[in-house]
Chain A
Amino acid sequence: MKLIQRDGESFLFHISKREKGLLLEVLKLYPLIPIAHHRVSRTTAAPPVAESQKLLESALADRTRENKRQLLAMLTRESRRQEADGGHRLKFTAPQMEWLLQVLNDIRVGSWIILGEPDEKKAKSIELNDENARYYAAMEFCGLIQMTLLDAFQQSD
């Protein structure tokens, strides 16, 4: 996937047929992070923080629902789009790019959690097996697409 053209807040990408198929499959994994994974505070569960935690979980649930709705619309739209020049054109506005970054990162971080939160600094490596291998692939693929989107934000018109 690569940026073809940026016109202000509008971004046009070329994506190969294989990449697009993979992207649509990976996006179906959303959401992967359990809402309870996010903690509003590390230090206390005192009443103000407990209320904040409830508020956070409610806000994240709303956000997830909205992201899911947009995602389904995009998957339906893109699956109908015809092939052109050996691939497809994907057009996003800046807010859609932000939304896609959030969705991709949810899948990336969620996959990392499923893989046992591997950490090179702590010498905690991934133990791949038949069941979790697809999450490793999803984590890496999401990272790749995220970098493409982030690079596009850096490109001038």
Chain B
Amino acid sequence: MVPTFQRAMQSGCRPLAEIEIRAVLEYFPGMAETVEPVVMPDIEKEEQTGAESELDPGYLVICWDDPVNLMAYVTHVFQVVFGWPKPKAEFHMLQVHNQGKSVLTRESMERAEHYVHQLHSYSLHATMERDA
């Protein structure tokens, strides 16, 4: 709207045009600041029925070092399988490389199995061990 008004002034329009346009602008003051309704996401809190350790002994998913898998590849697999950001994936990859293994996560038996299957499909050396 402003550029149109400027063009009208340059082409010699009467001041009335300015008044008219300003009147229109004042009549619709909220047009440029229309607020969209905000829809808040539904957040459902899972009910806890007991401490995690009471329900399931838990399994640790461990990745072991080997001299064949490329460091960049291991980092990539951790990012894909666990959805981790690169710094976290690199941290665990370096732990595997320097310390011989890294505990990647602690899960129920089914979830641990799922992760071990995923890691094996990428040919990484991973196991699940019962958490002591």
Closest A residue by C-beta to B86:
A154
A1–B109 alpha-carbon span in the complex (Å):
42
Partner of A146, one of B73, B120, B129: B73
Q: What chain B residues lie within 8 Å of A117 (beta carbons)?
A: 67-68
Contacts of A141 on B, CB cut-off 8 Å?
none
Q: Which residue of A lies closest to B101 (CB)?
A: A42
Query: 0/1 per residue, B95-126, Cβ < 8 Å to A?
Result: 00000000000000100010011001111000
Which residues of chain B have C-beta atoms less than 8 A from A48's C-beta?
109
A-B contact count (CB 8 A): 69
Chain B residue numbers with a CB within 8 Å of A102 are 121-123
Q: Is A59 an interface residue (CB 8 A)?
A: yes
Q: Are B128 and A40 in contact (CB under 8 A)?
A: yes
**A143 pairs with B70, CB closer than 8 A:** yes
Count A-side interface residues using an 8 Å CB cutoff: 34
**Contact A150–B117 (Cβ < 8 Å):** no
Interface residues of B (CB under 8 A from A): 66-70, 72-73, 76, 80, 109, 113, 116-117, 120-123, 127-130
Q: Could you list 26 examples of A-B contacts with CB < 8 Å?
A: A33-B123, A42-B127, A42-B129, A43-B130, A52-B109, A52-B128, A56-B116, A60-B120, A63-B121, A98-B80, A101-B76, A101-B122, A102-B123, A105-B69, A105-B73, A105-B123, A108-B123, A109-B123, A120-B67, A139-B68, A146-B70, A146-B73, A147-B70, A147-B72, A150-B70, A150-B73
Seen from chain A, the residues whose Cβ lies within 8 Å of a Cβ on chain B are 33, 38-44, 48, 52, 55-56, 59-60, 63, 98, 101-102, 105-106, 108-109, 112, 117-121, 139, 143, 146-147, 150, 153
